[in-house]
Structure 1
Amino acid sequence: MSRLKRCGNTKKQCLILTLALKSNSSHLRELDLSVNIIGKGVKHLCDILKDSQCKLERLRLSFCHMPEEGCSALTSALKSNPSHLRELDLSKNKLGDSGVKNLSDLLMNPQFNLEKLDLNVCSITEKQCVILFLALKSNPSHLKELDLSRNQIKNTGVKHLCDVLKDSECKLERLRLSCCYMPEEGCSALTCALKSNPSHLRELDLSKNELGDSGVKNLSDLLMNPQFNLEKLDLNKCNITEEQCVILTSALKSNSSHLRELDLSRNIIGNRGVKHLCVILMDIHCKLERLSLQECGITDVSSLTQSLTISKALQFLKELDLSFNKLGDSKQWLSDVLQDSNCDLRVDISSPYF
Structure 2
Amino acid sequence: MLNLEMNNIREPGAQHLANALQHNKTLTMLNLEGNLIEDLGVQHLADALRRNTTLTTLELGFVGITNLGARHLADALLQNTTLTTLELGRNYIENDGARDLANALRQNTTLATLDLWKNQIGDSGARDLADALQHNTVILIPSSSIPCLCLQFLI
Give the shorter-chain TM-score range.
0.7 to 0.9
Q: CA RMSD in A?
A: 2.5
Residue 92 (structure 2) aligns with:
181
The CA deviation string for residues 273-299 of structure 1, in whole angstroms up to 9 with x for no partner, is: xxx96xx9xxxxxxxxxxxxxxxxxxx
Residue 123 (structure 1) aligns with:
36
List gaps (5 residues or longer) in structure 2.
Answer: none
How many pairs are equivalent?
151
Residue type at the aligned position of 1:188? R
Residue type at the aligned position of 1:210? Q
Residue 61 (structure 2) aligns with:
149
Cα distance, 1:184 vs structure 2? 1.6
Find 1:210's aligned residue among 120, 135, 151: 120
Residue 82 (structure 1) aligns with:
none
Do structure 1's residue 108 and structure 2's residue 22 form an aligned pair? yes
SS of the residue corresponding to residue 30 of structure 2 reads: strand
Do structure 1's residue 261 and structure 2's residue 142 form an aligned pair? no
* Highest RCO, 1 vs 2 (Cα 8 Å, sep ≥ 6): 2
Residue type at the aligned position of 1:234? I
Cα distance, 1:113 vs structure 2? 3.4
Indicate the structure (1 or 2) with the bigger Cα radius of gyration.
Answer: 1
Q: Is the 8 A contact 1:178 1:205 kept in 2?
A: yes
Compared CA separation, residues 97 and 178, structure 1 to 2 (3 A): closer
Compared CA separation, residues 193 and 214, structure 1 to 2 (3 A): farther
> How far apart, in 2, do the equivalents of 1:123 and 1:99 lie?
10
Q: Is the 8 A contact 2:105 2:133 kept in 1?
A: no
Compared CA separation, residues 263 and 221, structure 1 to 2 (3 A): closer
> How far apart, in 2, do the equivalents of 1:213 and 1:140 lie?
34
Give the percent of matched residue pairs that are identical in Structure 1 and Structure 2.
Answer: 33
> How far apart, in 1, do the equivalents of 2:21 and 2:132 lie?
28
- Please report the TM-score for the alignment, with normalisation by the length of structure 2: 0.83
The CA deviation string for residues 32-69 of structure 1, in whole angstroms up to 9 with x for no partner, is: xxxxxxxxxxxxxxxxxxxxxxxxxxxxxxxxxxxxxx
SS of the residue corresponding to residue 131 of structure 1 reads: helix
Residue type at the aligned position of 2:29? K
1:233-248 matches, cutoff 5 A: 233-235=140-142
> How far apart, in 2, do the equivalents of 1:224 and 1:101 lie?
35
Cα distance, 1:147 vs structure 2? 0.7
The CA deviation string for residues 14-42 of structure 1, in whole angstroms up to 9 with x for no partner, is: xxxxxxxxxxxxxxxxxxxxxxxxxxxxx
- Please report the TM-score for the alignment, with normalisation by the length of structure 1: 0.39
> How far apart, in 2, do the equivalents of 1:188 and 1:97 lie?
25
Residue 6 (structure 2) aligns with:
92
List gaps (5 residues or longer) in structure 1.
Answer: 1-86, 237-259, 265-275, 281-354
Compared CA separation, residues 262 and 105, structure 1 to 2 (3 A): same
Residue 82 (structure 2) aligns with:
171
Residue 132 (structure 1) aligns with:
45
SS of the residue corresponding to residue 262 of structure 1 reads: coil
The CA deviation string for residues 162-201 of structure 1, in whole angstroms up to 9 with x for no partner, is: 111111x42211111001111221111112211121x222
Cα distance, 1:210 vs structure 2? 2.4
Q: Is the 8 A contact 1:164 1:170 kept in 2?
A: no
> How far apart, in 2, do the equivalents of 1:263 and 1:191 lie?
14
1:1-354 matches, cutoff 5 A: 87-109=1-23, 111-137=24-50, 139-167=51-79, 169-197=80-108, 199-225=109-135, 228-230=136-138, 232-235=139-142, 261-262=148-149
After TM superposition, the runs of 4+ consecutive aligned structure 1 residues lying more than 4 A away are none
Q: Is the 8 A contact 2:106 2:133 kept in 1?
A: no
> How far apart, in 2, do the equivalents of 1:175 and 1:164 lie?
12
